[in-house]
Amino acid sequence: MAKINENYLKLPGSYLFSTIAKKVAAYSEQNPDKEIIKMGIGDVTKPLAPSVTEAMHRAVDEMGTAEGFHGYGPEQGYDFLREKIVEKDYKAREMDIKPDEIFVSDGAKSDCGNIGDIFAKDNKVAVCDPVYPVYVDTNAMAGRAGDFVNGHWTNLYYMPCTEENGFMPELPEEKVDIIYLCFPNNPTGVSATREQLKPWIKYAKENGSVILYDSAYEAFITDPDVPHSIYELDGAKEVAIEFRSFSKTAGFTGTRCAYTVVPHELKLNGTELNGLWNRRQCTKFNGVPYIIQRGAEAVYSDEGYAETREAIRYYLDNAKIIRDALTEAGLTVYGGENAPYIWAKTPDGMKSWDFFDKLLEEAGVVTTPGAGFGPSGEGYIRLTAFSTKENTIKAMEKIKKIL
């Protein structure tokens, strides 16, 4: 008889967003005349930039001609895009990354999840707490996380990110093999400086660990001390894989385009991980559509860059509105300066779900309870800057009124 992957049965239900949706639906049913403002949106809301859609239109037309038709493309992405990425995201910031170290994909979420394919099952994995759930669940599916007991996976190494440590994980006190880091962070909105990242490179070198660096929110960085890439740090190419995405940078959440960097210098036991990832992608992935890659290329044109920056600026302005209003309302807030996320401490040690309920029922504002991102998220709520400016202002007025 065929057998299922039993690891899937160990996964707790993903109740966070469905519970929120149910609570919101119940509230609007009981209060049909009350307005609800969603400040928990985890998706961009601004449309694609004109340069991007124009490039996509041109690519669509090309596809309808005999000369311009593109069938299966290279699994790793077209050279025109890989070369642009190297030039604009790396060379322009004085990093030496080669086009064949770039793997274009349909998402950083897929890549963060799929990367586990090239690692053995018995690696010890470290994750931040709170955390983007993809890192945890995909390792659980692979059998690397152990069992889920009292809110914790028995084989994962949790690195609490708390107010005491400024939401910066501390170096593991034991030897871990794979370390997931995400900066600017989702959900806390906190970013890491070069100085804060340096010890991680050293730790990884000393312990033979690999850092999986999720840089999905790189475009939101405003602080010059915050690196846009892990490879801005010396020695990072020997220990780190980096994930980037056009999703938050350029509004590609619905069009799907991202890339992963696996430097040739990164070797385990003499084997280049670049070759393994290439083998994995060639076997299981058939590339991102030509039309989409032409759209992504346009993000790097002068106009495309200016247009996409405008949307980022808009979200960052919203983040500032949220930070200022919540601070004025007496809350302690973190993040929102180099990220579209604000991590707010609940008042008087209130549980995050209780504060979520209070904001929904009294102010009609939907947030995300921090406890949904891991045990250390208890006592916090996450707000996002992806709403419209008008709604952001309105939601903040309502919250100020009730606090």
Nearer to ligand PLP, 32 or 254 (CB): 254
Nearer to ligand PLP, 107 or 369 (CB): 107
Angle in degrees, CA 282, 288, 293, rounded to 5:
135
Nearer to ligand PLP, 299 or 399 (CB): 299
Instruction: Put residue 254 in one of left, alpha, beta given phi > 0 → left and psi -120 to 50 → alpha.
Output: alpha
Residue 248: CB minimum distance to ligand PLP, A: 6
Q: Long-range CB contacts (< 8 A, 24+ apart) of 253-256?
A: 253/43, 253/44, 255/48, 255/56, 255/292, 255/295, 256/106, 256/107, 256/288, 256/292
Interface ranges with ligand PLP (CB under 6 A): 107-109, 132, 182, 186, 214, 216, 245, 247-248, 253, 258
DSSP, res 337 = S
Taking the alpha carbons at both ends of the chain, their separation in whole angstroms is: 59
- Using Cβ positions, the residue closest to ligand PLP within the complex turns out to be 107
Nearer to ligand PLP, 300 or 363 (CB): 300
Nearer to ligand PLP, 136 or 399 (CB): 136
Nearer to ligand PLP, 216 or 395 (CB): 216
> Chain centroid to CA 174: how far?
26
Residue partners of 281: CB distance under 8 A and separation at least 6: 75, 76, 103, 105
Residue 250: CB minimum distance to ligand PLP, A: 11
Residue 272, helix vs strand vs coil:
strand
Residue partners of 199: CB distance under 8 A and separation at least 6: 171
Q: What share of the chain is helix, strand, coil (3-state, %, to 5)?
A: 45, 15, 40
Residue 214: CB minimum distance to ligand PLP, A: 5
Residue 29: CB minimum distance to ligand PLP, A: 30
Residue 317: CB minimum distance to ligand PLP, A: 20
Count Cβ atoms within 10 A of the Cβ of residue 238 and give its class: 0-12 exposed, 13-18 middle, 19 or more buried.
Answer: middle
Residue 339: CB minimum distance to ligand PLP, A: 10
Nearer to ligand PLP, 136 or 333 (CB): 136
Residue 144: CB minimum distance to ligand PLP, A: 19
